[in-house]
C-alpha cells in the first residue's frame, strides 16, 4: 500500500508545479536504498516521462480490490482509475444506479432493498455483466473492481471470465 501511496503522491506532485515535482522526486529518490536503485536509472522512476494517456487498447488493467469495509478500497480504486485511465466499477454504485433507473430489474431490486435483504449473487453478477458489456462496447479494455467478489459464487463467476490479471488485497 505504501508503494501505491508514493505513486499517487508522485503523480500529484508532477501535475501541480515544477518545484513540487522536484520535491516529489527527492522524496522518491530517498525512499530507496542505494543498492536497490539500478545503475544508470534515474532517481525518480517517472523522471522525464511525459504524462499522457495511452490509447484505450493499451490500458488493459484488470484489477480487483478486496478487503474489509473502510480500509480504503474505494479511495485507492478511484485514484488509480483516474491515474491509469480505466473505469472504477463499484458494485454499490451499480446497485444505486439500477435503483435510480426505471427498468424491470429496478422494481425487483427496490423490493429486496426495502425489505432489508441482501442482494442476491445472481442480481449482482447480472449488473456487473451488463456494465462490463457496456464498457466493452465503448472500447474500454480494462477496469478496477471494487466490492466484487463478496461471496464464493461471485468469485467462481469472476474466475470463469478468465480475463483477470491482478488481484490486489
56-169 CATH, one of 3.40.50.2300, 3.40.47.10, 3.40.50.300, 3.30.70.270: 3.40.50.300
Cα separation, 146 vs 150, in Å, equals: 10
Q: Which three cell numbers stand for residue 74?
A: 474505494
Please say if the pLDDT value at position 90 is more than 50: yes
Quote the pLDDT of residue 33. Answer: 46
The answer to whether the CB of 98 falls within 8 A of the CB of 105 is: yes
* 4-61 pLDDT, tens digit each: 566 566 656 555 544 444 544 444 444 444 444 455 555 444 444 455 555 555 667 7
Q: Is the pTM of this model over 0.75?
A: no
Which residue ranges make up each domain of the chain? 1-52, 56-169
Higher pLDDT, 134 or 141: 134
Amino acid at each position: 500500500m505504501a508503494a501505491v501511496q508514493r505513486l499517487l503522491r508522485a503523480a500529484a506532485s508532477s501535475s501541480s508545479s515544477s518545484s513540487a515535482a522536484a520535491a516529489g522526486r527527492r522524496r522518491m529518490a530517498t525512499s530507496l536504498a542505494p543498492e536497490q536503485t539500478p545503475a544508470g536509472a534515474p532517481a525518480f522512476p517517472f523522471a522525464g516521462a511525459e504524462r499522457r494517456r495511452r490509447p484505450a487498447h493499451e490500458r488493459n488493467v484488470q484489477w480487483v480490490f478486496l478487503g474489509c469495509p473502510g480500509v480504503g478500497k474505494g479511495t485507492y480504486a478511484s485514484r488509480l482509475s483516474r491515474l491509469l485511465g480505466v473505469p472504477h466499477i463499484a458494485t454499490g454504485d451499480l446497485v444505486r444506479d439500477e435503483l435510480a433507473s426505471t427498468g424491470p430489474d429496478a422494481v425487483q431490486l427496490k423490493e429486496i432493498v426495502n425489505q432489508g435483504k441482501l442482494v442476491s449473487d445472481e442480481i449482482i453478477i447480472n449488473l456487473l455483466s451488463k456494465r462490463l458489456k457496456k464498457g466493452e462496447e465503448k472500447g474500454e479494455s480494462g477496469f478496477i473492481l471494487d466490492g466484487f467478489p463478496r461471496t464464493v459464487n461471485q468469485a467462481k463467476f469472476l474466475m470463469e471470465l478468465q480475463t483477470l490479471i491482478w488481484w490486489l488485497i
